[in-house]
Amino acid sequence: MTEFKSETNKIEDVYQFKIEVPFDVKFVCVYLWNVGNKFVLFDAGLNMNNWDKIFFTSLQKIGISIKNIDYCIISHYHLDHIGLIKKFKRKNPDIKICMGTIEHEAFKWETNSQNFKELELEAKELSQQMVKFGITNKQGERLVHWFTMWSNLRRYQKPDVLLSDNDEICFDEGKKLKIMWTPGHSLGHICVFDDDKKYLFSGDHILSRITPHIGNFIVDPVNRKNYDFENILDHYLKSLDKIDKLNPKLIFPSHQEIIFNPHERIIAIKEFHKNRLKEISNLIKNNPLTPLKISQIRFGENLDEINAYLALSEVISHLIYLESQEKVHRIEKNGKILFIS
């Protein structure tokens, strides 16, 4: 069994539990702090190997039991953020598991085995679109397997509290947490803003050194009916502006380092995407290319299959953003879709 490295830090009055994971992100952070007289956790880490043991031991070392914790707020339902919610609930039935309504709808739908055929059809439709964007039919088949595999790895836990954009969780002494819907890295991603301390808990929405993946998703039937997520980069950039207007003092991300200059970091992320949009637009000026070819030029051709797909997906999100502004358009040739500016 892999022994994960870990460390516990205290930044002002927030405990950061930083525990290793076997992914590119290296570490996942879970945060604990007091709001009024309540203990609040942000995110629930990973359920793999001895990750849970390390987390519960880390809590014990600061004199806290999971039974003392009142709320656990989930940023989004990726595996390294929801891992321990069932164990939290089993060890402490009174803990309130909180999740955004959009994310919960996707989580519930994907993990219901009765929906597998529907999920598979959605995955096939997405893979066929990716074939038109440049990948091979064989790669499309593996993409279907990849998307349907994730539903088998997640374990559903019904939340106690469902949260929507601008909702507030209120505590004693007038203290409150504000919920910000921040789509981009996932459709229903939420950030939490401590209104009193001016702390933002950003999940994967804002990271200190890299930008989160912004790309294509399978959309469940309910959210597909209620929202248009095709231009996901536009959603992401607008949600960055929402966060910036809060003027947070510190940002606590789920990976990498604490962000002590929130406004500057947000501006840097926006500038990064502005530059990438310009690069892509220049690359296809009077030079129609498939999204796959653009991603290979931009990111290289030696990526493993998962990262190659993520690179392609990221390029597509930028092309759709440019297309919405009428700066590029698509043409179809020999069954493939090419973009040109």
- The pLDDT tens digits for 80-124 are 999 999 999 999 999 999 999 999 999 999 999 999 999 999 999
- Mean of pLDDT values over 127-150: 92
Are 283 and 245 members of one domain? no
pLDDT above 60 for 240: yes
Kindly report which listed range (48-57, 142-151, 253-262) carries the lowest average pLDDT score.
Answer: 142-151
- Mean of pLDDT values over 180-204: 97
Higher-confidence residue of 21 and 237: namely: 237
Are 232 and 164 members of one domain? yes
Task: Report the half-sphere exposure of 42 (CA within 13 A, side-chain side).
Answer: 32
Instruction: Quickly list DSSP for 139-196.
Output: HHHHHHHHHHHHHHH------SEEE-TT-EEE-GGG-EEEEEE--SSSTT-EEEEETT
What is the spatial distance between Cα 92 and Cα 157, in angstroms, rounded to a whole number?
A: 14
The predicted-structure confidence for 14-28, as pLDDT tens digits, reads as follows: 999 999 988 777 899
Residue 65: the pLDDT is 96
Is 199 in a helix, a strand, or coil? strand
Closest CA to 218 of 312, 104, 106: 106
Are 219 and 84 members of one domain? yes
Are 267 and 279 members of one domain? no
In a domain, 1, yes or no: no
User: What confidence category does residue 154 fall into, taking pLDDT thresholds of 50, 70 and 90?
Assistant: confident
Report the DSSP beta bridge partners of residue 179: 192
User: What confidence category does residue 174 fall into, taking pLDDT thresholds of 50, 70 and 90?
Assistant: confident
Are 162 and 142 members of one domain? no
Q: Last residue of a domain, which of 272, 302, 323?
A: 272
Which residues in 184-304 belong to E strands, given as ranges? 190-194, 199-203, 250-253
Are 65 and 189 members of one domain? yes
Q: Last residue of a domain, which of 231, 257, 272?
A: 272
Higher-confidence residue of 215 and 192: namely: 192
The percent of residues in the chain predicted with pLDDT above 70, rounded, is: 99
User: What confidence category does residue 181 fall into, taking pLDDT thresholds of 50, 70 and 90?
Assistant: very high
Are 167 and 86 members of one domain? yes
Q: Are 99 and 163 in contact (CB under 8 A)?
A: yes
What is the spatial distance between Cα 315 and Cα 292, in angstroms, rounded to a whole number?
A: 8
User: What confidence category does residue 2 fall into, taking pLDDT thresholds of 50, 70 and 90?
Assistant: low
Are 335 and 297 members of one domain? yes
Q: How many Cβ atoms sit within 10 Å of the Cβ of residue 53?
A: 11
The pTM for the full model equals: 0.95
Residue 155: the pLDDT is 87
Number of domains in the chain: 3
The predicted-structure confidence for 62-79, as pLDDT tens digits, reads as follows: 999 999 999 999 999 999
Which range marks the domain in which residue 126 is found? 113-152
- Read off the tokens for 263: 């406004």
Are 44 and 133 members of one domain? no
Residue 1: the pLDDT is 52
Are 78 and 170 members of one domain? yes
In a domain, 233, yes or no: yes
CATH of the domain at 321: 1.10.10.580
- Mean of pLDDT values over 125-144: 93
Are 250 and 332 members of one domain? no
CATH of the domain at 174: 3.60.15.10
Interacting residues of 243 by C-beta distance below 8 A, sequence separation 6+? 180, 182, 191, 200, 202, 205, 206, 262, 266
Are 147 and 293 members of one domain? no
In a domain, 293, yes or no: yes
What is the spatial distance between Cα 173 and Cα 37, in angstroms, rounded to a whole number?
A: 9
The predicted-structure confidence for 115-127, as pLDDT tens digits, reads as follows: 999 999 999 999 9
